[in-house]
Amino acid sequence: MRTSIATVSLSGSLTEKLTAASRAGFDGVEIFENDLLASPLTPEEIRARCADLGLTIDLYQPMRDVEGLPAEEFARAVRRARHKFELTRRLGADTVLVCSSVSPLAVDDDDLVAGQLARLAGAAREHGVRLAYEALAWGRHVSTWDHAWRVVRNADHPALGTCLDSFHILSRARGPEDLEGIEDIPGDKIFFLQLADAPLLAMDVLQWSRHYRCFPGQGGFDLAGLLRRVLRAGYTGPLSLEVFNDVFRQSEAGPTAVDARRSLLTLQESVGLAAPPAPAPPTGVAFTELVTTDAAPVAAVLGALGFTRTARHRGKPVDLWECGEARILVNTGPAGRREGTRLAAVGLESPDPSGAARRAEALLAPVLPRRRAPGDAPLEAVAAPDGTELFLCATGRPGLPDWRADFEAAQPPTGTEPRAGTEPGAGAVRRVDHLSLTQPWHQFDEAALFHRAVLGLRPQESVDVADPYGLLRSRAVSTDDGAVRIVLTVGAAPVDDTAHTQHIALAVDDVVAAARALRAAGGTLLPIPANYHDDLAARFEFADGELEAYRELGILYDRDAHGEFRHCYTRTVGRVFFELVQRDGGHRGYGAANAPVRLAAQHAARGLTGG
């Protein structure tokens, strides 16, 4: 089916919006009245621009407060409407959206409404256009899809149909029973379908609609269920996104349009209208890659964590460090010069790297050039919305190229010997427990959708985390078995750079042993205030000596219905720090309850070092 997007969903001038919609691959647009009024282009020039960009104009919108009016008011409304019908014709569009009236003058009289809509449709037809009548959720008298449809049916005019809008329908629906009957509307009387999702908020529906809509799959509505009904009705028009969202208004139109079309592709897939290559969720973290200009501080922390430098890339300044199944690349190439030490790439263990890459490409993930220095193993890679490079790769699996093929075993240089005093047992790093990546503030919803749609990870609930200098939002995406867990975090506002950290959480069997070993190897743990541990003492009962060890080492503790979570932190190098995690009994959290204390401690540590 054809895809379309309302210009109000994107930021910028009308020209910028049209360009972004075209580049993202939409077939058409809805032109929002304010965008037209503010544009220096004439309707004919807009039409031509769209044609050049391969876009149709599928709808002009909205027309408001034109029906259910006293005679004199209705005459004025018809006069206004004729201007808009003519404008729509000049745009080369054939459909005008009419929203149900919110005017205090509107009369609660379905026969009057039907009669006036029929007369308006007659006028529209003279200009070669047709009317799609939509119930606003806050319409004065007509506020439900079935009421709007009843009026349209009674008006019985060929140039009058209904427009279904998922927000207005689902924001009011108490359950599937309120959607029954949509599939019985004759398909050719559904003139248009507007799609928007929204988080499930208990708030005034008009404010909810105007500020908090989001793209399908980013909120809590069952859009697939609604779309199936509309398709069963026989609707053949475009699937069109109409999203009022404060964040999208401020974000660059290009990436927003790509995010929008990815959301629509994912919705189409879920109802069988599109068939990108099937998802192949990752089965583990093959590696993470840090870039830096100065490897020494990173090497010192890795050494203290028990990692050993095991190999070096044949052609690039990249070292491989390993401990258990955790592998970290340290890249001192040119990439580090831009932003200092940061986490630049993640290798995801994929059951089908090339299939996963084809899916990513089909879902508009930017495919990165394969690393093909002479002798390099071919690696599939795409860019996440935050710019992190995601490699879809295999580690030691027969029949698949191994990303380690380009590395040759290294002798650990002086000063990076495996740490002393460790029994490679209880305290040893086993694998990556999770990664935590700070997202650009306006890409929080996009990032969650990307990781779900492109990688097949499952998003969990979003939680608020109080940083001393602002509220953060955090949302984990993971595989069902927890083999891959990524925590996406975003600051409350774009200036907030206190949260631009990234961290690698390493799983250990015994965090006390691991913390002691790290200290014995010269590592430094983030100090945690004594008040925190006093509070733990009030809230939980611990075995003898347990709490004293946590106090000494700066270990934090949490518990959920499934099990326990103990964790501690290294100091921060550049934007990156490490966490040691002991996860027992199927605990599902990430220490969010302790994050405010950790964040305050990191701010305090930064204050002390001036970093």
When the beta carbons of 40 and 375 are compared against its own copies, the nearer one is 40
Is 201 near its own copies (CB under 8 A)?
yes
What is the side-by-side strand order in the sheet with 502-508? Answer: 458-467, 470-478, 485-490, 429-439, 502-508, 576-584, 564-569, 556-559
- Give min distance, CB of 468 to its own copies, in A: 6
When the beta carbons of 277 and 527 are compared against its own copies, the nearer one is 527
Of 146-154, 287-295, 492-500, 564-572, the segment contacting its own copies by CB under 8 A is 492-500
CA distance to 468, 505, 514, 527, per residue, from 604 (Å): 10, 21, 24, 10
Known binding residue 165? Answer is yes
Closest CA to 67 of 133, 4, 126: 133
Q: CA 137 to CA 142: how far, in whole Å? A: 8
Is 83 near its own copies (CB under 8 A)?
yes
The mark string for 228-247 relative to its own copies (x by CB under 8 A, - otherwise) is ------------------x-
Q: What is the footprint of its own copies within residues 34-63 (CB under 8 A)?
A: 34, 36-40, 42-43
What is the side-by-side strand order in the sheet with 284-291? Answer: 380-383, 389-393, 342-349, 284-291, 326-331, 318-323, 308-313, 407-409
Residues 6+ apart with CB under 8 A from 129: 85, 88, 89, 93, 94, 95, 96, 159
Is 606 near its own copies (CB under 8 A)?
no
When the beta carbons of 464 and 481 are compared against its own copies, the nearer one is 464
Beta bridge partners of 348: 285, 392
Amino acid identity of 216? Answer: P
- Name which position in 275, 493, 543, 561 contacts its own copies (CB under 8 A): 493
Collapsing DSSP to helix, strand or coil, 323 comes out as strand
When the beta carbons of 468 and 522 are compared against its own copies, the nearer one is 468
Q: Which helix (H) or strand (E) holds 122?
A: helix 110-126
Tokens 């919006």 sit on residue: 17
- Name which position in 71, 104, 177, 202 contacts its own copies (CB under 8 A): 202
Known binding residue 127? Answer is no
Known binding residue 503? Answer is yes
- Give min distance, CB of 12 to its own copies, in A: 6
Which DSSP letter does residue 21 get?
H
- Name which position in 184, 471, 497, 522 contacts its own copies (CB under 8 A): 471
Is 538 near its own copies (CB under 8 A)?
yes
Tell me whether strands 326-331 and 318-323 are parallel, antiparallel or unpaired. Answer: antiparallel
Is 33 near its own copies (CB under 8 A)?
yes
Q: What is the dihedral of CA 396, 399, 404, 409, to 10 degrees?
A: 70
Known binding residue 548? Answer is no
Q: CA 198 to CA 171: how far, in whole Å? A: 8
When the beta carbons of 34 and 236 are compared against its own copies, the nearer one is 34
Number of residues counted as binding its own copies (CB under 8 A)? 57
Q: CA 200 to CA 212: how far, in whole Å? A: 10
- Give min distance, CB of 531 to its own copies, in A: 5
Of 322-330, 400-408, 500-508, 524-532, the segment contacting its own copies by CB under 8 A is 524-532
- Give min distance, CB of 583 to its own copies, in A: 23
Of 79-87, 101-109, 182-190, 327-335, the segment contacting its own copies by CB under 8 A is 79-87
Give the pair of three-digit tokens for residue 32.
């929002």
- Name which position in 496, 509, 546, 564 contacts its own copies (CB under 8 A): 496
- In this structure, the chain runs to a length of 611
Let me know: does 471 contact 311? Beta carbons within 8 Å.
no
Of 5-13, 339-347, 397-405, 573-581, the segment contacting its own copies by CB under 8 A is 5-13
CA distance to 265, 355, 371, 486, per residue, from 278 (Å): 13, 8, 25, 21
When the beta carbons of 275 and 561 are compared against its own copies, the nearer one is 561
Let me know: does 403 contact 287? Beta carbons within 8 Å.
yes
When the beta carbons of 373 and 471 are compared against its own copies, the nearer one is 471
Residues 6+ apart with CB under 8 A from 208: 171, 198, 201
- Name which position in 70, 176, 207, 373 contacts its own copies (CB under 8 A): 207
Is 64 near its own copies (CB under 8 A)?
no
- Give min distance, CB of 115 to its own copies, in A: 23
Is 203 near its own copies (CB under 8 A)?
yes
Which DSSP letter does residue 366 get?
P
Residue 609, number of CB atoms within 10 A of its CB: 8
Is 530 near its own copies (CB under 8 A)?
yes
- Name which position in 156, 534, 548, 560 contacts its own copies (CB under 8 A): 534
Q: Which helix (H) or strand (E) holds 459?
A: strand 458-467
- Give min distance, CB of 204 to its own copies, in A: 4
Q: CA 243 to CA 273: how far, in whole Å? A: 21
Q: What is the footprint of its own copies within residues 244-283 (CB under 8 A)?
A: 246, 249-250
Residues of the binding site: 134, 165, 194, 242, 434, 503, 579
Residues that bind its own copies in the complex, under the rule CB under 8 A: 11-13, 33-34, 36-40, 42-43, 79-80, 83-84, 87, 201-204, 207, 210-211, 246, 249-250, 441, 464, 466-471, 492-496, 527, 529-532, 534-535, 537-539, 596-597, 599-601, 603-604
Q: Which residues are annotated as a binding site for a divalent metal cation?
A: 134, 165, 194, 242
Which residues fall in the annotated binding site for Mg(2+)? 434, 503, 579
